[in-house]
Amino acid sequence: MENLKYTFGQVNDWIKTADQKAMILGSFNIAGFIYQLVNLDKLVCGSIYTLILSIVSIAATLVTLYFWLRIIYPKLDNKHKKSKIYFQHIANAYENDIASGIDDLQKIDDEEYKKDLASQIVINSIIAKKKYASIQKFIWAFGVQLVTLLLLLISLI
């Protein structure tokens, strides 16, 4: 049981780390987007080189925004068996009858708890994998955005 609890904690830490990375990178992404908006007149009215770089940079910004939203707003599904330890299933089942929820949760035996915990480990691992895949794509698009922003900054000087 302790191994399952440890693994569950580790998987949840991976999810938290992915969310933290997304928030940090997202703030830089937003700063780049604000720079583009503030300098839009210079970027669009400049040379063809500046215009092309601006279009690429804005496209990269939109792609990073898409992956950023996929990271911070995960798709929580309810296709799996109802869990006694997953917050959304607990809330949906007992939102209007808290006392019944307390009673039911206290009745969970160790075997049922172990199965639910193992199930949550698998589901959360899938979520973590998707988040990290989105972070990798975000970083590539963010790199394109940074390079084009640097080239734009140089061209405006």
Is the CB of residue 119 less than 8 Å from the CB of residue 81?
yes
Torsion of CA 115, 118, 120, 123, to 10 degrees: -120
- Model confidence pTM above 0.85: no
Give the domain range for residue 77. Answer: 2-156
If one counts the domains in the chain, the total is 1
Residues 6+ apart with CB under 8 A from 130: 70, 74
Is the CB of residue 141 less than 8 Å from the CB of residue 32?
no
Burial of 17 (0-12, 13-18, 19+ CB in 10 A): middle
Torsion of CA 129, 134, 138, 141, to 10 degrees: 120
Helix-, strand-, coil-residue percentages of the chain, each rounded to 5? 85, 0, 15
pLDDT, residue 140, reads: 92
Read off the pLDDT of residues 74-128 as tens digits, 9 standing for 90 and up: 776 656 667 777 777 778 878 888 888 788 888 888 888 888 888 888 888 988 8
d(CA 64, CA 136): 10
Amino acid at 155: S
Residue keyed to tokens 């979520």: 127
pLDDT, residue 77, reads: 63
Read off the pLDDT of residues 5-58 as tens digits, 9 standing for 90 and up: 888 888 888 888 888 888 888 888 888 788 777 877 776 676 788 778 888 888
| Higher pLDDT, residue 45 or 66 | 66
pLDDT band for 151, please (50, 70, 90 cuts). confident
Q: How many helices (H) and strands (E) does the chain have?
A: 6, 0
Q: What is the DSSP letter of 45?
A: S
